[in-house]
Amino acid sequence: MSRSSYLKRFSFLSLQSRYLCSQHQWKQPSEGRDTGIRIYNCVARKQVPLILSNDAYATWYTCGPTVYDFTHIGHISCYVKLDIIQRILRHHFNVNLVTAMNITDIDDKIIQKSIESGKPWHELSRFYENEFWSVLKQLNVQEPNIKVRVTENIPRIVEFITRIIGKGSAYKGNDGSVYFAVNTCRNYGKLQKTNIDEDPEKPILGVEGKTAPADFALWKAQKCENEPAWPSPWGPGRPGWHIECSTLASMIFGQQLDFHAGGLDLRFPHHENEEAQSCAYHGSEQWVNYWLHSGQLHVKGQSVKMSKSLKNTISVGAMLERYTADEFRLACALSNYRNAMDYSDTLMETSRNTLKRLKSFKADCNAYLSGKKQGAQVEASEMLGDLERAKNNIDACYKDDFDTSCSIGVLLEQANAVSRQINAGTAENEKLYTSSCLDAVAAVQNFVQQQLQILGFSLVEESRAHVMGAATEFDLEGLVEDLLQSRRLIRERAVAGKNKELFQICDELRNCLRQHGIDIQDHNKGTSWQFSGNKQ
């Protein structure tokens, strides 16, 4: 082996050795608020205490989309899962969470789409960005507090790169681009175990102009005059992918973040490279305290993730033609945020049926509290005892790495127990009466609804808003109540006269309402109704 080859292999093995020695090193915040949550940490490779360094607020940065095409459900599932966690932190643990997200509005894919379509790249990126925010709204995903575009912050990115070069962690390659020198990062590879060099014997200077295969671009030199470019000390060009998030997150939150989130596919190389270059810029050992990675969505039966490049995507619009936003949200919650999600009709039907059960619980409670439904005597002490246990169990679920699947199970158990008591009687049982423990039933109903709101479910409220549309002054509920009152009178006459034709009219009216997403249920003291969310 030649001396140069030996030195290259020795350098690679030394770097790999440093990686192996440092792979499990994670520095727990020494001061701050201990939330009581145990959260999975990809650096420590285990659950660790979630400690927030600032009592006043917590910082959260999410990698935003590269806006070159329509949003598909594989992509948006990440944002729904992260939205659920953010809501839990805000509304269950009372964390003042400040969130930010970038929009990558210049990229190879955007440039290629511009060439193929003949449309200016900036018009394309703005169109697909608007579509992305629209999709978030449709799925009830809260927008970040702070939104930043890459192209509006190029000078900051240039300054960020300049400082990294000044610290000896980056260099200009022979192709005019600027590269980060991975061998200057002592802890490179701490987020995900990886072989940082496919072949230590390959030529030092390749066609990309970098000095080591693992080095990555901070600044991409302009290849031709027609390619979008911005001025820099190294010549015209544009930012590399990884440097964008490091610059923008540091611009907003400074030298350390509490949370940095994205899909599991971003952990390497994107997040690994972000951490490396940000530590170099700030002169720190740990830039992000807690990395959160959501599991990928697969179409059931396929081993690969849903991806535009693989052409196996389902658009959000196509999904919403068959299922509601709440049904998709519940499917995400049932899979837990770190788990892969196998999308299928079976999964979505399970989600739909689970939501129906929760809606039926609310309808049972409303009918019982309004006196329209009689039931067996409700044991308030037992019900309130179960309620207290449910509160503690849900808190434990959330403290166990945001286990939403577990919390949904607790809510279902609570709802089923109360519904069983409410529906225990029949009209023929003379001992049945409306219980004096109405407050206990109302307390459980409030609790279940509050928990669903925390998780971002809109349920009945969203359906009513959708049906009413822009006619905000139209009293839809009053209209339905009047229709049901008329139907009740017809039904009473049908019962008194055993008139089959009148019974048929009542059934036809029920079916008509169902076609418009309104389900009705007859009780011995009246008729209750709810929006099913599913028109027939």
User: In this structure, are 425 and 503 located in the same domain?
Assistant: no
CB-CB neighbours of 402 under 10 Å: 26
pLDDT attached to residue 18: 44
User: In this structure, are 69 and 211 located in the same domain?
Assistant: yes
Domain limit, last residue, from 307, 341, 375: 341
User: In this structure, are 131 and 212 located in the same domain?
Assistant: yes
User: In this structure, are 287 and 404 located in the same domain?
Assistant: no
315 DSSP assignment: B
User: In this structure, are 188 and 322 located in the same domain?
Assistant: yes
Type and span of the H or E element at 295: none
State which residues form the domain around 10: 3-341
Asked whether residue 517 carries a pLDDT value surpassing 60, the answer given is: yes
pLDDT attached to residue 520: 83
- Rounded to whole angstroms, the Cα distance separating 467 from 135 reads 19
Closest by CA position to 102, among listed 43, 41, 154, 144? 144
pLDDT attached to residue 310: 63
User: In this structure, are 139 and 166 located in the same domain?
Assistant: yes
Cβ(363)–Cβ(320) below 8 Å: no
Domain limit, last residue, from 430, 457, 484: 457
pLDDT per position as a tens digit, 288-340: 999 999 999 988 777 666 666 666 789 999 999 999 999 999 999 998 899 99
Q: Stretch 489-495: mean pLDDT, rounded?
A: 84
- For the ranges 103-112, 210-219, 473-482, the lowest mean pLDDT is seen at 473-482
Instruction: Tell me the pLDDT band of 475, cut-offs 50, 70 and 90.
Output: low
Q: What is the DSSP string of 88-156?
A: HHHHTS---EEEEEEEB---HHHHHHHHHHTS-HHHHHHHHHHHHHHHHHHTTPPPPSEEEEGGGGHHH
Asked whether residue 70 carries a pLDDT value surpassing 50, the answer given is: yes
- List the beta strands (DSSP E) in 21-111: 33-41, 46-52, 58-62, 97-103
User: In this structure, are 86 and 154 located in the same domain?
Assistant: yes
Strands 178-180 and 216-221: antiparallel
pLDDT attached to residue 102: 98
Q: Average model confidence (pLDDT) for the chain?
A: 86
Asked whether residue 23 carries a pLDDT value surpassing 60, the answer given is: no
Query: Which CATH number belongs to the domain containing residue 217 in this structure?
Result: 3.40.50.620
pLDDT attached to residue 514: 82
- For the ranges 50-54, 209-213, 217-221, 489-493, the lowest mean pLDDT is seen at 489-493
- List the beta strands (DSSP E) in 122-275: 146-149, 170-172, 178-180, 216-221, 237-239, 257-263
104 to each of 108, 249, 272, how far by Cα in Å? 11, 13, 18
Closest by CA position to 325, among listed 99, 73, 86, 535? 73
Instruction: Tell me the pLDDT band of 347, cut-offs 50, 70 and 90.
Output: very high
Asked whether residue 7 carries a pLDDT value surpassing 50, the answer given is: no
pLDDT attached to residue 40: 98
User: In this structure, are 505 and 431 located in the same domain?
Assistant: no
pLDDT per position as a tens digit, 147-205: 999 999 999 999 999 999 999 999 999 999 999 999 999 889 999 876 665 443 344 44
User: In this structure, are 333 and 366 located in the same domain?
Assistant: no
Could you tell me which residue, 276 or 488, shows the higher pLDDT? Answer: 276
User: In this structure, are 161 and 137 located in the same domain?
Assistant: yes
Number of compact structural domains in the chain? 3
Q: Per the domain annotation, does 348 fall within a domain?
A: no
Could you tell me which residue, 182 or 378, shows the higher pLDDT? Answer: 182
- For the ranges 29-33, 35-39, 56-60, 249-253, the lowest mean pLDDT is seen at 29-33
- φ/ψ of 147, rounded to 5, equals -120, 130
Closest by CA position to 316, among listed 456, 135, 78? 135
Type and span of the H or E element at 236: none
Asked whether residue 373 carries a pLDDT value surpassing 80, the answer given is: no
Cβ(423)–Cβ(375) below 8 Å: yes
pLDDT attached to residue 437: 80
pLDDT per position as a tens digit, 232-252: 999 999 999 999 999 999 999
Instruction: Tell me the pLDDT band of 104, cut-offs 50, 70 and 90.
Output: very high
- Rounded to whole angstroms, the Cα distance separating 212 from 204 reads 6
Domain limit, last residue, from 278, 306, 341: 341
Q: Per the domain annotation, does 350 fall within a domain?
A: no
